[in-house]
Structure 1
Amino acid sequence: MTFDELLSTYEPRLAAAFREAIETIKSTVVLARVVERLDRGDVNGAVEAMQIEPEAFSALEIALQEAFNAGGTNAVGKLPKVMDPQGNRVIWRFGVRNPTAEAILRDLSSTMVMHITDDQRQGIRQALEQGLARGANPRSTALDVVGRQSRVTRRREGGVIGLTRYQIEFIERARVHLASGDPEVMNRYFELKTRDKRFDRTVVAAIRAGKPVTGEALTKIVGRLRDKNLLLRGEMLARTETMMALSSARDEAMRQQIEAGKVQAQDVTKV
């Protein structure tokens, strides 16, 4: 397989594992506990109640391990057939359990999960503070973060869990723009590539009437914006992490061949 073929194979697996982790976190949040802490003004306690923990992303770590192993195995599988000085064929092998390989994979995995969880906690804290600051009640603020349960799928939709801080910030700006009632400001909504175009007519009607988008319409528009950005977040994260895993594994595979004396370092060229 080529590098691009490996990428197209393992990237979707990481994206799916990320979505699975976010769905699990959302489904296990005890809303009453979050609301109780917000009622007390304990934003940090509300964040902790959502239990955004590294263990929630174990399936994502496993997917990353599989990509790493595939990258290394594929790299040695593409090496040419050569003979050693004694006339024996050189057997190329990649050891995923090699101490250095394990250290590289452990670092890739822990860095990925730490970045996700830290960014999540900060983004969620920010979203809770913004909700309370604009006067939303604790329950509504909590639902804006964890998502509202769909009557059809019974799953939580919308919410900011899984989004980056940047995504949370720009979606909040979209909410403010739509609720402003200022036609010029509201028109900025149409610049968003991740908007759900099915709501365009609703926004156009509000702009023509010179009125803000409010209530259930605003909640649905922002919820769909969050869902589409979560999908984008998973795809971007999966692509970045899969490329890192495959590239690191290919480098480590060659290092193992050099260390085993099967090839000299000066004979290896990276393209």
Structure 2
Amino acid sequence: MARRPTPRQRLDQLLDRFGGDIRAAFIESVHEIRDTARIAAIAGALEAGNVERALELIGLDPAAFRSLQRSLRTTFEETGVVVVRDIPALRDGQGVQLLLRFDPGNPAAARWVENRGARLVTAILDDQRTALRQALSDGLAAGRGPRSVALDIVGRINRATGKREGGIVGLTSGQYQTVANARQQLLSGDPAELRAYLGRQARDKRFDQAVIKAISDGKPVPADIVDRALSQYANRMLDLRGEMIGRTEATQAVGAAQREAFEQVIDTAKLDRDVVTQVWLATHDSRTREAHLEMDGQETGFDEPFTSPSGALLMFPGDMSLGAGPEDTIGCRCVVITRLGGREAAAA
């Protein structure tokens, strides 16, 4: 007979499942923007030198990220259901077992989902506009044709798959700069710059021979090969961003749902909050922050925050409500185990 997962294993399963779902929803949203962008109109605006109009025509809109917001909501609601379902039986004063259910319509629960989804999409769009405005300006300044610049932004059709690939849409402003720097290296014709490109881990190695030949000939890499190589490079950047968003948002949503689930159980069962405690558990591998490894095993009361060595306060992994910054939240893979009177009850 298969053994039931431990509380830690159950939480890790939820994070893996929903992290993948959120990642996929983000990528889907990016592709919707790319696929519906009006390339001819964007090129026309660029030809007229109107960068702001071109940016508008790309179609950056909160509605494009509805699948991402929906995935975040699903993560929160389904996690809450699992957590409450797996809490050990509780009884009232007459010894009757309490019926426990998670209510996603609870005002606090609904408010968290709405606020987090809105903040996430706003942050993505604000950074995206910065990256795309710079990319459009850089393309024009470099003398690239308007249509070529438009395709740099939204990606080019892969003839084999019929799908649009590459492009800056979906990348952070920092990632855009990484791609722009790679373009400069490939077009430089400078052997030192071309060798530096070959040191980029996210490059597509299928184009290495063209780069090696350019080094040997002392010439830039042909423009058509540069476009193809950077398309794949941007694809990999987008995958990395999707993975980071998936992990970060899943950690936040699972942690917030877990906490809200226990809030509802405490209220239903009329529990003394002093008997509810929580323990921070870090993931022990090379990717875990040193600060969070130091937090491993830290125990607090249910209403008390965890304290990072950085000084940041968090009610659960990924929590930003008390001011914790990216250094304590982005990509976090920690979990919290909650105990009722000494019994582990987090997704047990």
TM range (shorter): over 0.9
Q: Partners of 2:173 and 2:29 in 1: how far apart?
A: 18
* 1:47 lines up with 2:55 in the alignment: yes
Q: How does 1:56-95 map to 2 (within 5 A)?
A: 56-95=64-103
| Structure 1 residues 58-80: Cα deviation after superposition (integer angstroms, max 9, x where no partner) | 11111111110122112222322
| Structure 1 residues 129-169: Cα deviation after superposition (integer angstroms, max 9, x where no partner) | 11111111211111111111222322211111111111000
* 1:257 lines up with 2:229 in the alignment: no
Q: Partners of 1:16 and 1:86 in 2: how far apart?
A: 48
* 1:156 lines up with 2:164 in the alignment: yes
Q: Partners of 2:192 and 2:38 in 1: how far apart?
A: 40
* 1:100 lines up with 2:146 in the alignment: no
* 1:225 lines up with 2:233 in the alignment: yes
Structure 1: gaps spanning 5 or more residues: none
Please state how far the C-alpha of 1:261 moved relative to its aligned partner: 4.4
Please state how far the C-alpha of 1:207 moved relative to its aligned partner: 1.2
Please state how far the C-alpha of 1:87 moved relative to its aligned partner: 1.1
Identity %: 39
Please state how far the C-alpha of 1:92 moved relative to its aligned partner: 2.4
| Structure 1 residues 241-261: Cα deviation after superposition (integer angstroms, max 9, x where no partner) | 111110111111111222334
Q: Tell me if the contact between 2:187 and 2:220 (Cα under 8 Å) persists in the aligned partners.
A: yes
**Hey, which of these two has a bigger chunk of helix by percent?**
1
Q: Which has the higher contact order (CA 8 A, sep 6+)?
A: 1
- What's the counterpart of residue 220 of structure 2? 212
| Structure 1 residues 35-93: Cα deviation after superposition (integer angstroms, max 9, x where no partner) | 11111111111011111100011111111111101221122223221322221112322
Q: Partners of 2:159 and 2:205 in 1: how far apart?
A: 22
Q: 1:5 aligns with which of 1, 13, 29?
A: 13
Please state how far the C-alpha of 1:225 moved relative to its aligned partner: 0.4
What is the identity, as a one-letter code, of the residue corresponding to 1:204? Answer: I
**Hey, which of these two has a bigger chunk of strand by percent?**
2
Q: Partners of 2:108 and 2:31 in 1: how far apart?
A: 34
- What's the counterpart of residue 20 of structure 1? 28
- What's the counterpart of residue 237 of structure 1? 245
Q: Partners of 1:83 and 1:99 in 2: how far apart?
A: 26
Q: Partners of 1:76 and 1:191 in 2: how far apart?
A: 49
Q: Tell me if the contact between 1:26 and 1:147 (Cα under 8 Å) persists in the aligned partners.
A: yes
Aligned residue pairs, count: 271
Q: 2:150 aligns with which of 142, 159, 163?
A: 142
Q: Tell me if the contact between 1:90 and 1:262 (Cα under 8 Å) persists in the aligned partners.
A: no
Q: Partners of 2:247 and 2:199 in 1: how far apart?
A: 25
Please state how far the C-alpha of 1:95 moved relative to its aligned partner: 0.9
RMSD across aligned positions (CA) = 1.3
- What's the counterpart of residue 267 of structure 1? 275
Q: Partners of 2:96 and 2:206 in 1: how far apart?
A: 66
What TM-score results when the alignment is normalised by the length of structure 2?
0.75
* 1:112 lines up with 2:112 in the alignment: no
What TM-score results when the alignment is normalised by the length of structure 1?
0.96
Q: Tell me if the contact between 1:177 and 1:189 (Cα under 8 Å) persists in the aligned partners.
A: yes
Q: Partners of 2:113 and 2:29 in 1: how far apart?
A: 20
Q: 1:129 aligns with which of 98, 122, 137?
A: 137
